[in-house]
Amino acid sequence: MPSLVLSKQKLSWNPSSYSIKNMSIIDALNWRYATKRMNGNSIPPAQLETILTAIELAPSSLGLQPYSVIVVQNKALLKRIQTVANMQPQIPEASALLVFAAWETITEERIETYIKRIAEVRHVAEDSLKQLKEMIEALLKNSAEENFAWSAKQTYLALGVGLVAAAEEKIDSTPMEGFDHVKLDEVLQLPAKGLKSTVFLALGYRDAANDYLVRQKKVRREKERLFVTLP
Amino acid sequence: MPSLVLSKQKLSWNPSSYSIKNMSIIDALNWRYATKRMNGNSIPPAQLETILTAIELAPSSLGLQPYSVIVVQNKALLKRIQTVANMQPQIPEASALLVFAAWETITEERIETYIKRIAEVRHVAEDSLKQLKEMIEALLKNSAEENFAWSAKQTYLALGVGLVAAAEEKIDSTPMEGFDHVKLDEVLQLPAKGLKSTVFLALGYRDAANDYLVRQKKVRREKERLFVTLP
């Protein structure tokens, strides 16, 4: 069972020698950690594709997927992003940075596009989706701020799915909030796309020799505090 | 490869005949759907434990895990919850309902508890964590509303991890927002615990004969809309 060997011998692991998709989710989540230093190596495109496909398949409220994910691999751009993200070293050391960005507002047009998409995929008439459309419009009759907060939460769900996918592919990842959202949005020209950044996922390979955190035990709240099991 | 057969023959799948942990995350995410009707069967305790352990291992910003997860299996209580959740049928039909609930406020005491926990798990002196403590306090010097919104986002990350775990265990699940948060909090006495509900995850087994959604194609935004790959 390679997965058990892996989780006990964190530091000697060699990504290229590992046959993927053999670890259970628990082994994978134990193996992963918030990687603070990466070694600059590139992720095989097929594995990046798997992570993106998992994110694509993540559910969202009303099925709306009110966000986009910006995929940055260009080293010069990663270095520029680093300057608005507290100079965190893993950004340019990553193979790819996924920037989750939620819809700034939920427009009529965006709901319309979603309805058209359902009609197309399920081969039904748009008319038959009128009730659904009205329900979505009614549920999202909130202020732009409230809707953005809702959309932002959906990006965290997708982030959770993406980071499990990365861990199961033996790709290191770091979820990151520590950046200047306004400046980052400017760098990536997100306002023109109607998007506002919410959170990053840096993807790459741990630099075990230089990352202090790789040797630290994972800290989690006691199960009896985290879970309340009602009788 | 049982996983391929599975994703093509959704309706003929029998949970008890399936050897778990053989599906890739992509197969599992294709297999899962927002289950609208469940059949009332119970999840084996070991599989519920796996899902809860995945949620426990979900990362969170600053590692704080500013939430709890209420595990409801009592049928009478599920029926009561249903009454504040638009009478959605899958609630009492589920084997377990996970209610994600974020900290209402981030108190000094909660940060203190976290620091003590790090010291305990990593066998370091609390004094050595003074800088970390001050950093966390500085980062969370926001209004209670802002901190709750931040904590709520963390629950969605944990939800994402939990629902992947469920899918890989071949447990059906439904993430749900459609409930009256204030009334639900009263039913579960969350205010006394300093918690506010954010989202549900119903866990159980699909009632394929009565669930219209099981036969519908999954709808997702076109990859070229969802992902922006920068040169």
Residue B1 has pLDDT above 80, yes or no: no
Q: Which of A16-30, A83-97, A120-134, B110-124 has the lowest mean pLDDT?
A: A16-30
Residue B111 has pLDDT above 90, yes or no: yes
**Selected residue of A73, A157, A203 to mutate for chain B interface (largest B Cβ count, 10 A):** A157
Instruction: Report residue B231's pLDDT band, with 50, 70 and 90 as the boundaries.
Output: confident
Q: Measured between CB atoms, does A52 come within 8 Å of chain B?
A: yes
Angle between helices B144-168 and A144-168 (to 10 degrees): 40
Can you give the pLDDT at residue A2?
A: 35
Pair A176, A145: CB distance under 8 Å? no
Pair B51, B162: CB distance under 8 Å? yes
Can you give the pLDDT at residue B17?
A: 36
The pTM score is 0.91
Pair B58, B158: CB distance under 8 Å? yes
How much of chain A, in percent, has pLDDT values that exceed 90? 88
Residue B137 has pLDDT above 50, yes or no: yes
**CA-CA-CA-CA torsion sign (A171, A175, A176, A181):** positive
- What does DSSP assign to residue A175? E
Residue A124 has pLDDT above 60, yes or no: yes
| Among chain A residues, CA nearest to B177 | A61
Can you give the pLDDT at residue A8?
A: 35
The owner of tokens 């992570």 is A51
Mean pLDDT of B144-158: 98
* C-alpha to C-alpha distance for A50 and B82, rounded to whole angstroms: 37
Give A7-34 pLDDT, tens digit per residue.
333 333 333 333 444 579 999 999 999 9
Give B26-58 pLDDT, tens digit per residue.
999 999 999 999 999 999 999 999 999 999 999
Q: Measured between CB atoms, does A159 come within 8 Å of chain B?
A: yes
Can you give the pLDDT at residue B13?
A: 37
Q: Measured between CB atoms, does B230 come within 8 Å of chain A?
A: yes
Higher local confidence (pLDDT), B218 or B1: B218
The owner of tokens 């359902």 is A118
Pairing of strands A96-103, A195-204: antiparallel
Can you give the pLDDT at residue B126?
A: 97
A122 vs B77: CB contact, 8 Å cut-off?
no
* C-alpha to C-alpha distance for A119 and A125, rounded to whole angstroms: 6
| Among chain B residues, CA nearest to A222 | B117
A122 vs B216: CB contact, 8 Å cut-off?
yes
Angle at B192 between CA B191 and CA B196, to 5 degrees: 25
The owner of tokens 């630099």 is A207
- CA A79 vs. chain centroid, Å, equals 20
For chain B, give the mean pLDDT: 91
Mean pLDDT of B121-144: 97
Mean pLDDT of A163-177: 97
Q: Measured between CB atoms, does A38 come within 8 Å of chain B?
A: no
* C-alpha to C-alpha distance for A61 and A72, rounded to whole angstroms: 26
Rg (CA), chain B: 20
Instruction: Report residue B219's pLDDT band, with 50, 70 and 90 as the boundaries.
Output: very high
Can you give the pLDDT at residue A22?
A: 53
Instruction: Report residue A231's pLDDT band, with 50, 70 and 90 as the boundaries.
Output: confident
**Selected residue of A20, A36, A57 to mutate for chain B interface (largest B Cβ count, 10 A):** A57
Can you give the pLDDT at residue B23?
A: 74
Give B56-105 pLDDT, tens digit per residue.
999 999 999 999 999 999 999 999 999 999 999 999 999 999 999 999 99
Give the SS3 label for residue B219.
coil
Can you give the pLDDT at residue B12?
A: 35
| Among chain A residues, CA nearest to B74 | A231
Can you give the pLDDT at residue B22?
A: 53
Residue B15 has pLDDT above 60, yes or no: no
* C-alpha to C-alpha distance for B101 and B198, rounded to whole angstroms: 5
Instruction: Report residue B110's pLDDT band, with 50, 70 and 90 as the boundaries.
Output: very high
Residue A213 with chain B: CB contacts under 8 Å: none
Distance (Å) from the alpha carbon of B85 to chain A's nearest alpha carbon: 15
Pair B156, A162: CB distance under 8 Å? no
- What does DSSP assign to residue B173? E
Can you give the pLDDT at residue A6?
A: 35
Give A55-112 pLDDT, tens digit per residue.
999 999 999 999 999 999 999 999 999 999 999 999 999 999 999 999 999 999 999 9
- What does DSSP assign to residue A206? B
CA-wise closest residue to A55 among A172, A175, A164, A148: A164
B217 vs A61: CB contact, 8 Å cut-off?
no
CA-wise closest residue to B39 among B212, B226, B210, B214: B210
Residue B154 with chain A: CB contacts under 8 Å: 156
Instruction: Report residue A196's pLDDT band, with 50, 70 and 90 as the boundaries.
Output: very high
Give B172-181 pLDDT, tens digit per residue.
999 999 999 9
Strand partners, B228: A70
Residues 103-132 of A with CB under 8 A from B: 114, 117-118, 121-122
For chain A, give the mean pLDDT: 91
